[in-house]
Every structure is written in C-alpha cells, then in structure tokens.
C-alpha cells in the first residue's frame, strides 16, 4: 500500500458489535473532537452527533471529516468525496479533509483533482507531511521520479515517524538505482515498525535488482513463512527469480499466486512473460489478456505497471486480423444456481439454457453452455472461451447467478464460494475484469450480459475484516474500455428479479424474445429490453448498459434482409 491517511484518522471498522446505549451528547462531542481517541469510538461519537443533527460550524466539519475517512477506508469514494466536500464548505482551512478528499479523487482515477486538493492542503499548512507522501505517489505512478523523490523527502522531513514516507522513498530510490539509499531507508522504516510487511516485501525486490539474491530471498522467504498466502510477497519472489534467470522457480511462484488469487494482475502478467520467453505464445496471450483489462481508472502502482506490460505485450502478440469479416460469432453462457453455502437459485440454470438455445437459433457458430461452476471451473471456462474469441468477430458472455460489489470491485460468485469474510472475495470469486478479458480478443462485438444483480446472500454473515464497503444489492458503476459493452439486468446498486412460479427472469425473458427480431441494431435492442423489463416489473427493475460496440458499424443479432 503506497498511500496513507493521517494516523489520527485511520479509522478501521471493528467486527465487534457496537453497544446500543447512547452516551451523553457532551461525551460524544469530546470524543469526536479528540484526535487521540480510539478510532472506532471516535467514529461512533461523530456519527451519533451527525445523525442527531447536534453540530454546526467547525465541529460539524470535524465530524464529517471523520465520517469521510471511514468511507475512504471502505473504498466508498463517491460518498467520501461528497461528505468531505461538505466538511470543507464548513471549514475551508480543514487540511485533513482536503487531504482525504484528494485521496478519494485519486482512487477514482481523478489525479488532477487529487493533486489540486493535496496542493491546497500544503498551501494552507506547508508542514503537513502526509499530503507530500500522497502527492509523491501520484508522481511515482506517472513516472516523474524526481518529483516523487522531492515529495517523499518533504514527507519525511515533516513527519519523520511516518513509515510509508520511508518505504515509498526507498521504492523511488530503487527505481533510480540508488540502491544503497533505498536499503538505508528500509532500515529507518524498521526502526519505526520492525514488523511492517511492506519493508521485507519491497526490500526483497531492491536486493534482487542489486544482484544480492541471498538477501532478497531471505526477505521474501521470511515474509512468506509468516504469511503463506501473501500474494504480494509471492509475486515479488517470483520477480526476483526472474532476475536471477530461474524461470522454473518464478513460474512455480506465479502459479501459486494464481491458485490463491486467480484475479491477480501481477501474477498473470509475470507468468505471461515466462510463457512468452518459452515461445508458448497462446498461453502468454491468455495470461496477458487476464491482466490487461480494467473497469476503473485507478490501479495501485505495482498493478498499474504489471497491467501496462500485459497490455503492451498482448498488443504485440495478437495476430493481425485478416481483411474483411469472418462472420464467426461465439458465446459463453453460464448459469450458477446450486450454491453450496447459501440458498440455491432455481432460475439461473434455466435462464442460461434459454439464452444458449436462442443464441444457437440466431446463428452463433459456437455456444458453450455451462452451469453450477466452481471457482476453478469458472476460470477454466473463461480461458477456453477466450481462445474461441480470438478467431471470432463477436464474443458474447451471458451470466446468471449471484454477483455483487465489494470494495469497489464487481464479482461473479462460483457455487463453491464460502465468503466468510469480505477479503475472501478476491480469492474465491471471479472479478468482472476476467469476464471482460475473455471477450477481449474478438474483432468487433465484445458483449457481456449480467443477469446477476441479486441480493448478496453472504452479507448477513460476512465478517468485515478490511473495512470495505460491502454492497448488499447489485453491482457498482463501471467504465469499460472502447469497443466493449456490458449490460446489467438491473442498474448499478439495484437488484434483478427472478421469475415467479418457475418462469424465467424478466431480463432473460425479454432478451430471448427481442434478440430474435430481425434488423434491430444492438444498441437499440438493449434499449428495448430495458423498456420491456421496466414495464413488466412495474418500474422495480431497470437494466442498464455501459460502453458500446465500435461506432462506425451497425451490429445485429438477426440481420434480416
């Protein structure tokens, strides 16, 4: 993790139950004002006061800032920005709120707005060390290494006990090949917190780039022994093995990382490089594709670098499409209903069967129809389909089953998922980006349809270990890349209905009916389906489309004459 929020506002939501007895207003006010108060107690006190509308002026700004920080920790960045903006309106000199709002903007990929807030916070308080660190992170991600170094120097100058200032400067020094300076910075960070995992995890890479592989492996191995499922450390050890030229060891680590977290961008990008070196170009493309696509505008630094490599190499290895059109259309249809650990859904397998039949009827040459997929089978199906999409003009995925957002990431849920805790989603579920990747190789139409915006049945029992925003209903907003179209059966944040009395879902029913109508262009088709579902559900469900196929051509499921 590269950026941090002020330690006095580092609010983490505890999974412990909050007592129902409400403290007196005076106690709440004192606690809300107290920067040294226990984080959860302070958040609760501020919320009590805000909910009772007891505050005005700067006190209200303080309480809104604490609430905004809680929302930042949950990655609920839109609401965080709204809340922090209210705090800044009440107290324009609240530099903590400015810094936090900058962080919210940054995590939404709005770096210019983030920089404006960091700069304003520093203009108002030049000795405030944290915004220097956060501004340096943006500079680092942009590749402006000297500017990043200057900011981390100032962060350390004004907050010398701020661990991330030291570790981030060490990373810049590593990139500029000031290896001795980087090692010295890691040593200073150890004085602050000897157990901080980012020290050994990042120093491992620095030692590797120095060619001191014994020290590198000692750092990575020590961390992995303590945290065997630490994918960050496993990926770093794989990178060191590649530097050493031991591709077998690197491949073993990347395979381990992907087995733990099949959504790992860094592991897929790294493994793709190994397969490319070994001339297994089909597998290299598959891994690069799994790492290349994003539905948001923000990646952490290591992920951004790995994704950029995957995008560059995928473009280089993708065969040029022959002139003209093959007319080949392929589809993957998934219906997950027989869930092992929550109540079963009777409709998805039936809906999937309906849609698969209709796609065959309208002339799709290949329709892969599968139901009740476990995690591993789900990823296998996506990889198999991605290979089909490489030789197709159209690639279409239809998914019915459980799906929801956790911490700003949309997931489709395999039938064997347990999801006992929020953090389990990235290792037990399928990130929507992986589905986007599966259709990505098609030449023209790349379409994903998700009849999956149902209530989250795991939410009532899911342990909140990461303080993430846990959405009980539906998916979040997305930004697919050019040439991709993603259709939700229900608008983001809303739920899709199942059919009554054994009937197919409203979305599947409308889709199956309208898709067979000749000469309806694909964009208009989904407008019609939206209107049909909106009407039949009595305005309770509204499908929503994101993105679009290429704009210079019209596309029809049934072209007509």
Give me the residues paired with residue 381 across strands: none
Whether the CB-CB separation of 411 and 478 falls below 8 Å is answered with no
Walking along the chain (561 residues) 10 residues at a time, the average pLDDT comes out as 34 28 66 94 96 95 96 89 98 97 94 98 97 97 96 98 97 97 98 96 97 98 96 97 98 98 96 98 95 85 94 91 74 96 91 96 96 97 95 96 84 93 89 94 94 76 59 59 87 67 82 95 96 92 89 88 61
3-state percent helix, strand, coil for the chain, nearest multiple of 5 = 55, 10, 35
Please say whether the dihedral angle defined by the alpha carbons of residues 315, 320, 325 and 328, taken in this order, is positive or negative: negative
pLDDT score of 456: 73
pLDDT score of 477: 63
Q: In 3-state terms, what secondary structure has residue 355?
A: helix
Pairing of β 409-412 and β 403-406: antiparallel
pLDDT score of 466: 52
Pairing of β 445-451 and β 403-406: unpaired
Question: Phi and psi (nearest 5°) for 163?
Answer: -60, -45
pLDDT score of 455: 66
Please say whether the dihedral angle defined by the alpha carbons of residues 500, 506, 511 and 516, taken in this order, is positive or negative: positive
Torsion from C-alpha of 521, 526, 532, 533, nearest 10 degrees: 160
What token pair was written down for 441? 């190789």
Give the pTM. 0.84
Distance (Å, whole) CA 105 – CA 72: 10
Residue with tokens 């989904």: 526
Cβ contacts of 207 within 8 Å, gap of 6 or more: 183, 213, 215, 216, 219, 240
Cβ contacts of 54 within 8 Å, gap of 6 or more: 25, 28, 29
Q: Counting every residue, how long is the chain?
A: 561
Residue with tokens 């994003």: 294
Residue with tokens 């800032």: 65
Question: Phi and psi (nearest 5°) for 349?
Answer: -60, -35
Cα–chain center distance at 252: 25
Helices (H), 371-477: 375-389, 425-428, 432-439
Q: In 3-state terms, what secondary structure has residue 325?
A: coil
C-alpha closest to that of 543 among 449, 411, 444: 449
Q: In 3-state terms, what secondary structure has residue 140?
A: helix
C-alpha closest to that of 329 among 289, 380, 389, 385: 389
Distance (Å, whole) CA 420 – CA 464: 9
Cα–chain center distance at 234: 20
Whether the CB-CB separation of 95 and 125 falls below 8 Å is answered with yes
Whether the CB-CB separation of 398 and 333 falls below 8 Å is answered with yes
Whether the CB-CB separation of 435 and 393 falls below 8 Å is answered with no
Specify the long-range contacts of residues 349-356, CB closer than 8 Å, at least 24 apart.
349/400, 350/504, 351/400, 351/451, 351/504, 351/505, 351/508, 352/398, 352/400, 354/504, 354/508, 354/509, 354/512, 355/398, 355/508, 355/511, 355/512, 356/331, 356/398
pLDDT score of 465: 59
DSSP H or E stretch at residue 332: strand 329-335
Cα–chain center distance at 29: 36
**How many CB atoms are closer than 10 A to CB 457?**
18
Residue 97: is it exposed, middle or buried by C-beta count within 10 angstroms (0-12/13-18/19+)?
Answer: buried
pLDDT score of 404: 83
Whether the CB-CB separation of 135 and 115 falls below 8 Å is answered with yes
pLDDT score of 115: 98
pLDDT score of 472: 46
Write the DSSP assignment of 468-486 as a string of letters. Answer: --B-SBSPPP--PPTTEEE
C-alpha closest to that of 477 among 493, 500, 461, 456: 493
């Amino acid at each position: 993790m590269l950026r941090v929020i002020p330690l006095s506002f580092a609010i983490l939501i505890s999974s412990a139950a909050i007592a129902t007895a409400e403290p007196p207003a005076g106690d709440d006010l004192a606690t809300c004002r107290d920067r040294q108060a226990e984080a959860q107690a302070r958040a609760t006190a501020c919320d009590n006061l805000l909910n009772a509308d007891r505050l005005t002026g700067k006190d209200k700004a303080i309480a809104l800032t604490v609430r905004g920080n809680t929302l930042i920790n949950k990655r609920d960045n839109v609401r965080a920005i709204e809340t922090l903006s209210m705090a800044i309106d009440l107290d324009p000199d609240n530099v903590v709120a400015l810094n936090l709002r900058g962080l919210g903007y940054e995590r939404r990929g709005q770096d210019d707005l983030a920089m404006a807030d960091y700069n304003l916070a520093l203009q108002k308080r030049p000795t405030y060390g944290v915004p220097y660190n956060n501004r340096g992170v943006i500079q680092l991600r942009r590749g402006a290494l000297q500017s990043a170094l200057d900011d981390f120097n100032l962060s350390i100058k004004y907050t010398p006990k701020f661990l991330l200032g030291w570790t981030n400067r060490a990373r810049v020094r590593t990139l500029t090949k000031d290896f001795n300076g980087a090692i010295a910075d890691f040593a200073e960070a150890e004085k602050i917190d000897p157990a901080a995992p980012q020290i050994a995890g990042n120093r491992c890479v620095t030692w590797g780039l120095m060619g001191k592989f014994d020290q590198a492996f000692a750092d990575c191995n020590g961390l992995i022994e303590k945290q065997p499922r630490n994918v960050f450390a496993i990926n770093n050890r794989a990178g060191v093995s590649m530097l050493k030229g031991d591709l077998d060891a690197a491949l073993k680590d990347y395979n381990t990382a992907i087995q733990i977290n099949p959504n790992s961008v860094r592991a897929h990008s790294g493994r793709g490089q190994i397969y490319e070196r070994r001339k297994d170009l089909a597998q290299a493309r598959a891994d690069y594709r799994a790492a290349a696509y994003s539905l948001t505008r923000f990646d952490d630094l290591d992920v951004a670098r790995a994704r950029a490599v995957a995008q560059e190499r995928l473009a280089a290895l993708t065969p040029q499409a022959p002139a003209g059109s093959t007319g080949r259309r392929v589809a993957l249809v998934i219906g997950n209903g027989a869930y092992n650990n929550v109540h079963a859904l009777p409709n998805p397998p039936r809906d999937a069967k309906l849609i698969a039949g209709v796609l065959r009827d309208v002339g799709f040459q290949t329709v892969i129809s599968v139901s009740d997929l476990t995690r591993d089978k789900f990823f296998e199906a996506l990889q198999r389909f991605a290979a089909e999409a490489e030789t197709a003009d159209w690639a279409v995925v239809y998914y019915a089953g459980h799906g929801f957002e956790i911490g700003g990431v949309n997931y489709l849920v395999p039938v064997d998922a347990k999801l006992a805790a929020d953090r389990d989603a990235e290792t037990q579920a399928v990130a929507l980006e992986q589905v986007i990747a599966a259709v990505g190789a098609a030449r023209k139409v790349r379409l994903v349809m998700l009849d999956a915006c149902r209530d989250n049945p795991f939410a009532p029992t899911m342990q909140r270990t990461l303080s993430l925003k846990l959405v009980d209903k539906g998916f979040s907003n997305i930004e697919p890349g050019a040439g991709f179209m993603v259709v939700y059966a229900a608008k983001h944040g809303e739920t899709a209905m199942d059919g009554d009395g054994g009937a197919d879902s409203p979305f599947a029913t409308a889709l199956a009916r309208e898709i067979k109508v000749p000469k309806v262009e694909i964009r208009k088709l989904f407008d019609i389906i939206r209107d049909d579902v909106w009407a039949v559900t009595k305005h309770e469900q509204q499908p929503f489309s994101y993105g679009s196929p290429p704009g210079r051509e019209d596309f029809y499921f049934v072209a007509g004459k």
